[in-house]
Amino acid sequence: MIDVTIIGAGICGALIAHKLSKFNLNVLVLEKENDVALGATGANSAMVHSGHDPKPGTLKCKYNLLGNRMYKDVCADLQVDFDQIGAYVVATSLEEEQKIDVLVKQCIEREVPYEVLTGEQARVNEPNLSDNITKALSLPTTAVVTPWLVTMAAMEESMLNNVQLRLNYEVNQINKKDDYFLINDEIKTKVIVNCAGSHCDDITNLLRVSPYKVETKKGEYYVLDHTGEQLVHHVIYPVPTAKGKGVLAVPTVHHNILLGPNSDFVEDKDDVATGTGLDYVKRELSKTIKNVPFNKMIHTFAGNRPHIDLNDFYIQEDDEIKGFIHVAGIESPGISAAPAIAKDVVENMILPKFSVALKQKYIKRKPYINMAKMSKEEKNDLIHKDPDFGKLICRCEKVSLGEIKDVINRECGATTIKGVKMRCRPGMGRCQGGFCEPEVVKIIQKQLDKKLEEVKLDKNNSQIFTAYAKEDL
């Protein structure tokens, strides 16, 4: 019998599993894809909002504020990057200046640090701000993270402490028994936590009519190369509108710049194609940023966010079915809110159902090996111990064979090209895998003892090779 089953291995599911892994509980995580963090967690603005913007009285406001204050410690505990670079919300008209005044009032009420700058003052620090900007709200507690690495680190450490992860597992049946749930006629569990993102209502509908309907918003982004002079050093927001926070410029922890997103509803919950939304991003960005070097664009991508018709997060035990916990509608500021959501769900919704103690022995993960951050002496020492760390595979991001083997041969290890890319960055640079991807395929093939045609780009329908050109190969 499983104590707690979490459906969905995005950032909320992983952080809930991580908190539960510290207790003497039998925990299982189910994920329909072949890796964690392949949904909304893997394609977003990669930032921790200050909490200045969400509507007062909402769960978005509550969890954003709490999550922002937790993030530095969470990232330190998981040994992943956290960079508190700050943000500017910028106005280009009197009407927009009045909206900044509203945000200032919210900052005061929420004890969010802030400073109001003139356009001229803001351009001293950010010379590429548009000349039309007349006022800026500085938010120093805004930070950037890598959400999928937070997720992967949390899941890896959870698995080191006996949490089970089942990938490629789609939940299509749930039956409520007297004191447990039966999933797909095989998994007995006392508690279910529904963290299925855009499919949360589909999961709930297996038991009863869902109290919310999930619609999917797609956001498209440009990624700029991290070479040369950086376009901006803070996150740059326009003033928010009814559609959301608007088109942003976001420096990442790796010093690329994300530009986006748009925000459009799509019928297909899994549609992540890029298209005309990128034109919208360009137009909107021109209102706040000048001198955007689109000739240094190296990648575009899209991500979907689960929006529910209640216009807020839905985080609670089900009103009708005890033991079924909803973590639904986790759109922006979902990444920012995730640590606080996990804490609340575990401490106030799950643990009261069990009489359990903390584990006496807890295993901490070792961080991914990142030679780019090492001193010359540290690199030489590592290469002396294992020559694979001296064999360069990705020239753009300076990633070695040893680093790639390391991220494959771990709990919650990479099994696909994108899985390797997300963990240690081969293919993230200027050539986008043009040189290193064939080598990564061979490394995955060898390390996991796969046939060449079994190596996937990312999801299960993304074969790189379908057949051999010559039968004798």
Amino acid making up residue 155: M
Q: What is 299-319 written as a DSSP string? A: EEEEEEEEEETTSS-EEEE-S
- In this structure, are residues 297 and 260 in contact, taking their beta carbons and an 8 Å threshold? no
- In this structure, are residues 200 and 211 in contact, taking their beta carbons and an 8 Å threshold? no
The H or E element that residue 154 is part of is: helix 147-160
Nearest-angstrom CA–CA distance, 312 and 64: 12
108: number of Cβ within 10 Å? 10
What the block records as the tokens of 358 is: 């903390």
Backbone angles phi, psi at 288, to 5 degrees: -120, -25
- DSSP code of residue 390: G
The catalytic site residues sit at 49
Q: What is 393-433 written as a DSSP string? A: EETTTTEEHHHHHHHHSSTT---SHHHHHHHH-TT-STTTT
- In this structure, are residues 287 and 84 in contact, taking their beta carbons and an 8 Å threshold? no
* Length of the chain counted residue by residue: 473
**Minimal CA–CA distance to 27: which of 16, 37, 11?**
16
**Dihedral over Cα of 348, 352, 357, 361: its sign:** negative
177: number of Cβ within 10 Å? 8
The Cα angle at residue 51 between residues 48 and 57, in degrees rounded to 5: 135
In order of 89, 238, 322, the CA distances from 245 in angstroms are 10, 7, 36
